[in-house]
A and B are shown apart, each in its own frame.
Chain A
Amino acid sequence: MKSFLILALGLLALACAPAGASPAPASVPASSSASESFGPRPSSPATLTITAPQDGATISGTTVHVTLDLENATITSTTTAAISPTQGHIHLYVDGVLTSMNYTTEQDLPVTPGTYSLKAEFVAADHAPFSPRVWSNQVVFTVH
């Protein structure tokens, strides 16, 4: 009887778990088109520019200070499905790999010696991209 009750309570708990929790989490592909992966997406008037490091910069140390210039939009720290074309987050890609998601236009990234490519994307408040995607310029920097 006791084990039956436990089983029943387990089933009830399972039923109360959110149904959306089991599917795979949202992926953030670096290169495919937004609508291909995320369904219909709004466009954004935002423009994003990496102002530091400059293309071709040589850096010493273990971090690179990244600064961005975002125009026609603002950064929100809220993650929500109620998205707006002029509000969102910044995703930083180092060598095509999503390295950081942040709510500011400045960030220090840990680096080791080598040559790297850096690109940033302005994404909506649900962390999914706009369509067309809002990419920054790409810079290549070297760490000694």
Chain B
Amino acid sequence: MNPRTRRWTSLGSAWPALALTALGLAALGLAQIAGPTHRLPLYDGVVVEDPYRYAAPAPGQAGTPGTGEAVNQVVGSSSPSIAVLTSESPPQAQLIAPIGAFALAAGTTSLTATLTPLAPTSAQTQAGAVGNVYRMTVTDQNGQQVPLATGVQATVILRVPDQNAQVAVGRSDGTAFTVLPTTTGNQQDLLRAQVDSLGDYALVPGSSSGPGPGLLLLAGAILLALAVFAGVILVRRRSAAPALAAPRSVPAAPRPDKARKRRRQ
């Protein structure tokens, strides 16, 4: 056979695959053209987190962190509840205070809570600050600082920029940090601490405890249930194994309808 003809003949057997490939490529192209790639898909259960935004971003890091401000009117003599969050999703900093948490001077009509992201100073960086330092203040209608009432604590929540970092919430005195007892919040990268004064807070090297006792109890109960389930299966398998292996010594009784037939015959 002519070598040229032989090449065409061998190619001939690959024609179905080539046709399928061409069909696939064409369908791929059509899907890309007709598909709604430019439209946002319906919510599918995944929340996309904003990147951590740095007040002094290094190359490749996102900048322009959000601030937080909440103005609350004072009714009566107790301070209102305050929850102020920065604008990222999830928020990078939060301050939450229950009703009556602040010591109000007479004539206070409103409280303004603010969260301001700051780049760590060189002393704070040397002290190990991770991410931004957040200045948390509460002022009255005249701009005067309002302190927390004696014996009352507020909650500070800071988002961890790097989930692998072993950090805790720390209070800055300008140069050094006091590490506070820290727990994880309702999301693994949100760390919570109870504070008895406002000021500058940041994440610093330290450790945080895991979920609260409720979740630990639940996890323990699930593990116990799994262990019991596995035990039951194991026991049932062991007790079923000899019965299956043993030969049948007693012949099966004839079915009643068959016995009736035999009697008639």
A: residues with CB less than 8 A from B are: 1, 4-5, 7-32, 38-39, 55-56, 62, 79-81, 94-99, 101, 110-117, 126-128, 138-140, 142
Contacts and interface: CB of A to CB of B under 8 A. Distances in A.
A27 B214 contact: no
15 contacts: A5-B17, A11-B24, A21-B41, A26-B43, A28-B89, A30-B85, A56-B99, A62-B217, A95-B91, A95-B157, A95-B190, A112-B213, A113-B213, A115-B154, A116-B96
B250 interface: no
The listed residue with most B CB atoms (<10 A of its CB), out of A10, A12, A139, is A12
B120 to A, nearest CB: 23
Contacts of A55: 80-81, 99
A112 B215 contact: yes
A110 B14 contact: no
Contacts of A99: 186
B96 A140 contact: yes
Contacts of B81: 55-56, 139-140
B16 interface: yes
Contacts, number: 178
Interface stretch (B32-40, B141-149, B229-237): B32-40
Given A115-B154, A117-B85, A140-B81, 18 more contacts: A5-B20, A7-B17, A8-B18, A11-B20, A19-B36, A23-B37, A26-B43, A30-B85, A55-B80, A80-B42, A94-B186, A97-B187, A101-B43, A111-B214, A112-B214, A113-B212, A113-B213, A117-B96
A28 B47 CA distance: 6
